[in-house]
Structure 1
């Protein structure tokens, strides 16, 4: 059945950062945090590119860390790649994880049932600080971008200390990929000061400025942890 008119609220939940609302608009779903639109299931092209570009050229088996489950586009792309042997998804909100067992299950392509996938309910910074594991690719999609974070604490991920922490969790040939709902020049400059190779991939969207995927490879010797 097609739903018309205003989006309908499906569920409300108390999240780590306030109220989370799952809404349905026609065939699609939206996640709202404290009244602010976060994401929906309408496209996902840039989220899929985030994973494809990060893993392109890596020799299997690939270990991948995804920061943020969201509506599942990044995870679905990762699970579809045969060279990916292990995927760790860190998601701070229990409600978001729960919605992938019900309403959002088709959009993550049932990947939470994939034995290669391990979902961790935690703050990403806490997870990185508490784990010594290294990954061939780290994909960040927990904010609307380095300059538009969901919570003030997340800003620490995109500064010098956060980039040092992320670099320490990469293998020697690892790739850091960061999704942004627009260009973030100051963040790009910090990447270029730390990595020998930095690439930007703009992705056009129906309205507004393009999404941008930042790819960083080969940490400079002077910045290695």
Structure 2
């Protein structure tokens, strides 16, 4: 077998479909419903997602901010956020129990162990839309990395998150002046327009150069103060 051939480490079926953890060489990959989500080969996109949200907040000053991460993934976003002492609170919503397990007692633990032990961090095992609808908590930043972008979702119902109704829920949990940051594998002018129509201000898109292919992007939008 070639060293580049993927090896399946775990394969589960849950309420949202199939989720698979594979090892390819020295890296790990997460596949959801047959769709490649992310791997551990780089991580600059996940780090930029968190940094872009923080930079937008830092420009406004104020108290140390709180962060809600939509999607645990391979753990790069959480680990990077926890490495920043200025975040006051870091909550991560993850609906796939398998992914949570891979971080607490599986192959992804080396990435996230320190962050999970950080008293500022909490993992919420629930669907993101459910949390946005039901929580009484408010956040200064909301970073979404649960799909390959607004135009390429893992499951059909995830599309609701990027709809006017879903964006209204995002606004609901953001403090005035709070920042929404959405990772995407490609730019989406249509999503930018949807953000503006949903009432967000300061909508813009930042590119992230990657090792191969077209740049990833982060869509940024601000909840009016």
TM-score, normalised by the number of residues in structure 1? 0.92
User: Could you tell me which of 125, 131, 148 is aligned with 2:129?
Assistant: 125
Whether 1:73 aligns to 2:76 is yes
Q: Which has the larger helix fraction?
A: 2
1:20–1:31 contact (8 Å) kept in structure 2: yes
Give the corresponding residue for 1:33. Answer: 32
Preserved contact between residue 12 and residue 20 of structure 2 (Cα < 8 Å):
yes
Following TM superposition, by how much is the alpha carbon of 1:60 offset from its aligned partner in structure 2, in angstroms? Answer: 3.6
Aligned to 1:213: 218
2:88 aligned residue: 85
Over the aligned positions, Cα root-mean-square deviation in angstroms equals 1.6
Return closer, same or farther for 1:6/1:217 CA change in 2, 3 Å cut-off.
same
CA contact (8 A) 1:16 1:92 kept: no
CA contact (8 A) 1:183 1:212 kept: yes
Say whether 1:135 aligns with 2:134: no
Query: Is residue 15 of structure 1 aligned with residue 20 of structure 2?
Result: no
SS in 2 for 1:103: coil
CA offsets 1:102-134 (integer angstroms, 9 cap, x no match): 211122253112111110111100111111211
The correspondence for 2:102, drawn from 99, 103, 110, is: 99
Equivalenced residues, count: 218
For 2:206, what is the secondary structure of its paired residue?
strand
Q: Unpaired runs of 5+ in structure 2?
A: none
Which residue is equivalent to 1:223? Answer: none
Query: TM-score, normalising length from structure 2?
Result: 0.92
Structure 1 stretch displaced more, 187-196 or 174-183: 187-196
The question of whether the paired residues in 2 share the 8 Å contact of 1:60 and 1:84 is answered with: no
Q: Distance in 2 between matches of 1:71 and 1:60?
A: 29
**SS of corresponding position for 1:139:** strand
Task: Work out the CA distance in 2 between the residues paired with 1:80 and 1:165.
Answer: 28
Question: Residues of 1 paired with 2:196 and 2:119: CA distance?
Answer: 36
Moved more, 71-80 or 25-34: 25-34
Q: Distance in 2 between matches of 1:205 and 1:82?
A: 27
- Superposition misfits of 4+ residues, deviation over 4 angstroms: none
CA apart distance, 1:59: 3.4
Which 10-residue stretch deviates more, 108-117 or 77-86? 108-117
Match of 1:144 among 143, 148, 151: 148
d(CA) in 2 for partners of 1:200, 1:156 = 21
SS at match of 2:85: coil
1:169 lines up with 2:173 in the alignment:
yes
